[in-house]
Amino acid sequence: MSIGYSEQRLDATAKVTGRSRFTSDLIMPGTRIARYLRSKIAHGRITDIDTSAAKALPGVEAVFTFEDIPRTPFATAGHAYSLDPKGRDVEDRLLLTDYVRYHGDEIAIVVATDHLIAEQVLGLIKVTYDEYPPLLNHQQAMAEQAPLLHQQTSNKVAEHQYQLGNPDEAMHQADTTVSGNFQTQMVQHCHLENQIAMAYMDDTDHIVITSSTQIPHICRRIVAQALSWEMSRIRVVKPTVGGGFGNKQDVVLEPMVAFLTWKLGGIPVMIDLDREESMVSTRIRHPISVDIECGVNRDGTLKALTLDVVSNTGAYASHGHSIAKAAGSKLPPLYPKTAMRYKAMTHYSNLPAAGAMRGYGSPQIVFAVESIMEEAAHKIGMDSVEFRLRNVAQKGDMNPLTDKHITSCGIRECLIKGRERIGWDKKKEDYRHSNTPSENPSYNKRRGLGVACFSYGNGTYPAGVEIAGTRMVLNQDGRITVQVGATEIGQGSDTAIAQMAAEHLGVPFSAVHVVSAQDTDVTPFDPGSFASRQTYVISKPVSEAARELRQKILCYAAEMLNCPVSELTLRDGTVVTEAAESQTLTLKELAMDAYYHKQRGHQLTADVSRKTTTNASSFGCTFVEVEVDIELCQTTILNIINVHDAGKIINPVLAEGQVHGGIAMGLSGAMGEELLVNSETGTIYNNNLLDYKIATMPDMPDIGSDFVETTEPTSAYGAKSVGEPPLLSVAPAIRNAILDATGVAINRLPMSPKALFNAFREAHLIQEAN
């Protein structure tokens, strides 16, 4: 029995002792170093590129420009392939470009014997541009006379809308309405390990890529497409990954290293980005603007909700409109009885390319929705928790977008538990007094409470195919080796999978070894780590394979013991008779016989691949208590707690770890992070971790987390997603708490001291400096 216990992460010791081996620790002898030459302008066309001096430098093996590359456009987004052409990502990318779409675009690549030479040679390439004004925002990009950044009829990537019920009529009939515009900023994932990939060609002329990726099997497909190779002639190996958060769900370096080794006769070639490149030239989170309106009745009924969403994907589509679309699909399961219209469009611009990032559009949309909920509650004079309790989903409700029942739902219990844990009612009452100048001598420091909630999915179905596989092997020593396509990228999935396997095998957790590195030649197929899908989607194949292997073990025991298999069971790694529970055979004894008996037996394995055609909803909420120093424009988080319905919790400590990470990331994005762009040139000012204000340990409050355990019937172990959800409701909860404390609504992220200063000044809370 392993499910529900806080087993120690399989890689805990290696991680804390610094012994984990990442891609850069696995570089082969003689590996050549490749570096990109990046554009120094944000928008324009290259009229001339002179590489002659560069190619003559000793130690330079090759210089390739946009003239040397395959002409097959490809999409970099890490989605499982779609049989429906309309379901595929936008193929707008070549390995190198002569049309520059953002400051940092890849226009050439050099291969040298070491990093120093590679760096030096970049300076010897002479580039002449025809420069155009950068299109940075919606207005510029969608202007009628705007130049087209790609071969399309406009700079719009895509748009869509859905409508549930009759939102216009419901809005009209509602007792009152509130509306607003909410905007989120460009932020970056800032995973510890920058992107890195190495490739070489093996004895059979296959290209072998080692890469820090979330999606080895998808990477294989995209590289094959980019090079027009057969897919099985590409092999992708994923070793230990130092964080991804969605950024490594894009295939950014792999097609290029594959191309380079192919062109250079199979020698190993590596690209390892530096932090500056990683921050600007990989992917960022989409800045999104939401016009939102909400209709409510005095009794607290949320009648109507309409959103008009504009998403800026930057220079390349990457995940493109999927982000805005996916985010929209998460609203109906949370407020299923409300008439809704969700309208969204995504456009290109000359900003860095946006892609997947933890939450996949939801943080932006939830910021708007949960802010407007607060406004609505204020408007009708209802407590914000109470208001949400009146409108959120319950188990058995129909998700009006999919016409499927919500099969588990604990959001009401989450709200009640969070309210209790933060001391909502009492503090609300206290702060009503303390935020009144006459009642509080230190009135400059005001306190407030905020709440926000969310729902989220478990994988991409029905938008995408959901498939996962696992293979299990009984080893000679009785331990079980488990291969999965699901990729451990730091979230702890290997550990959760080991617990699931142990549970249904009937062996101790310590007897399970999960092969952590994926290798597309031998690893069961699974698209990888994204969409908080893994624990949910793999639960069935893991459960099935565990039960199948268990049955094979028992049948073999029956053969060895010459007794009916029905009398045997496997408990804690030992075959025992059901009746007497007397020990009969250890797994090691059985395994040694299966491997080494001369006449009978064979290696006992189970190999299961399954598709999932369900998608559960996870739920949760954030409660925040803040103290805002009005004069210093500084917000202190006094208390923050997330309460999640993530179904059955496989490993409480690891689930809590996800909540801690999610809150930290959400808080940092809410309070300080922003990639700052020069509005004239399109250059990013702060492409480094000194100038980019990401929260670090000293910025963190104590973080609270709690769970309302439900049992999701479509998940083999009852579990639901907990990877991305913890950050979704953090920013609006803080925004609502600041509003509660100060009466000032901050509707654009980040809510930095600078933003508060402007808002407070506008609200006349502070005076203009003389």
Least distance (Å) between residue 233 CB and a copy of itself: 8
Among 8, 16, 25, 386, binds a copy of itself (CB under 8 A): 25
CA 600 to chain centroid: 48
Paired tokens of 634:
């500084």
Q: x-or-dash pattern for a copy of itself, window 516-545, by CB under 8 A?
A: x--x-xxxxx--------------------
Among 5, 6, 15, 53, binds a copy of itself (CB under 8 A): 15
Q: Which stretch binds a copy of itself (CB under 8 A): 130-138, 396-404, 555-563, 599-607?
A: 599-607
Is 19 or 126 the residue whose CB approaches a copy of itself more closely?
A: 19
The b/e string for 209-225 (b: 16+ C-beta within 10 A; e otherwise) is bbbbbbbbbbbbbbbbb
Is 87 or 753 the residue whose CB approaches a copy of itself more closely?
A: 87
Alpha helices in 252-361 (DSSP H): 254-263, 275-280, 322-328
Is 492 or 732 the residue whose CB approaches a copy of itself more closely?
A: 492
Q: What is the DSSP letter of 443?
A: T
Strand segments (E) across 634-766: 634-645, 703-707
Peptide bond into 462 cis (omega under 30): yes
Orientation of helix 730-742 relative to helix 652-671, angle to 10°: 50
Is 70 or 701 the residue whose CB approaches a copy of itself more closely?
A: 70
Least distance (Å) between residue 106 CB and a copy of itself: 27
Among 8, 13, 128, 181, binds a copy of itself (CB under 8 A): 13
**What span, in angstroms and rounded, lies between the C-alpha atoms of 708 and 512?**
28
Least distance (Å) between residue 444 CB and a copy of itself: 51
Binding to a copy of itself by residue 26, rule CB under 8 A? yes
Among 145, 151, 153, 204, binds a copy of itself (CB under 8 A): 204
Q: Which stretch binds a copy of itself (CB under 8 A): 11-19, 181-189, 280-288, 699-707?
A: 11-19
Sole residue written with tokens 């100038």: 691
Helix (H) or strand (E) holding 211: strand 207-211
Strand segments (E) across 251-351: 269-272, 284-285, 288-296, 302-314, 339-348
If DSSP codes are grouped into helix, strand and coil, which group holds residue 572?
coil
Q: What is the DSSP letter of 3?
A: T
Among positions 607-626, residues that touch a copy of itself (CB under 8 A) are 607, 609-611, 613
Which residue from 548, 371, 536 is spatially nearest to 458, judged by alpha carbons? 536
Binding to a copy of itself by residue 203, rule CB under 8 A? yes
Least distance (Å) between residue 214 CB and a copy of itself: 17
Paired tokens of 562:
């010459």
**What span, in angstroms and rounded, lies between the C-alpha atoms of 135 and 141?**
5
∠ CA(470), CA(472), CA(478), 5° rounding?
A: 160
Sole residue written with tokens 């492409």: 687
**What span, in angstroms and rounded, lies between the C-alpha atoms of 501 and 107?**
48
CA 699 to chain centroid: 23
Helix (H) or strand (E) holding 56: helix 52-56
Which residue from 670, 651, 652, 761 is spatially nearest to 706, judged by alpha carbons? 652
Is 549 or 751 the residue whose CB approaches a copy of itself more closely?
A: 549
Is 33 or 411 the residue whose CB approaches a copy of itself more closely?
A: 33
Among positions 89-118, residues that touch a copy of itself (CB under 8 A) are none
Among positions 321-380, residues that touch a copy of itself (CB under 8 A) are none
What 3 state SS string does 728-757 have? CCHHHHHHHHHHHHHCCCCCECCCCHHHHH
Q: Which stretch binds a copy of itself (CB under 8 A): 143-151, 400-408, 568-576, 600-608?
A: 600-608
Is 27 or 632 the residue whose CB approaches a copy of itself more closely?
A: 27
Among 601, 652, 701, 753, binds a copy of itself (CB under 8 A): 601
Least distance (Å) between residue 391 CB and a copy of itself: 32
Helix (H) or strand (E) holding 657: helix 652-671
Binding to a copy of itself by residue 605, rule CB under 8 A? yes
Among positions 251-270, residues that touch a copy of itself (CB under 8 A) are 265-266
Least distance (Å) between residue 29 CB and a copy of itself: 6
Among 6, 68, 81, 380, binds a copy of itself (CB under 8 A): 81
Q: x-or-dash pattern for a copy of itself, window 673-712, by CB under 8 A?
A: ----------------------------------------
Is 106 or 526 the residue whose CB approaches a copy of itself more closely?
A: 526
Among 14, 57, 142, 694, binds a copy of itself (CB under 8 A): 14
Instruction: Please check whether residue 120 is in contact with residue 43, taking contact to mean a CB–CB distance below 8 angstroms.
Output: no
Q: Which stretch binds a copy of itself (CB under 8 A): 397-405, 451-459, 588-596, 648-656?
A: 588-596
**What span, in angstroms and rounded, lies between the C-alpha atoms of 712 and 349?**
41
Binding to a copy of itself by residue 130, rule CB under 8 A? no
Name residue 642's beta-bridge partners: 622, 705
Among positions 430-489, residues that touch a copy of itself (CB under 8 A) are 461-462, 464-465, 467, 469, 471, 475-477, 479, 481, 483
Least distance (Å) between residue 9 CB and a copy of itself: 10
Least distance (Å) between residue 463 CB and a copy of itself: 9
Is 460 or 721 the residue whose CB approaches a copy of itself more closely?
A: 460
Least distance (Å) between residue 34 CB and a copy of itself: 17
Beta strands across the sheet bearing 605-611: 512-515, 480-484, 467-474, 605-611
Applying CB under 8 A, the site for a copy of itself has a residue count of 75
Binding to a copy of itself by residue 240, rule CB under 8 A? yes
Helix (H) or strand (E) holding 628: strand 618-629
Binding to a copy of itself by residue 596, rule CB under 8 A? yes
If DSSP codes are grouped into helix, strand and coil, which group holds residue 511?
helix
Q: Residue 682 region, left (φ>0) first, then alpha (ψ -120 to 50), else beta?
A: left
Among 50, 175, 202, 631, binds a copy of itself (CB under 8 A): 202
CB-side neighbour CA atoms (13 Å) of 428: 15
Binding to a copy of itself by residue 224, rule CB under 8 A? yes
Least distance (Å) between residue 607 CB and a copy of itself: 4
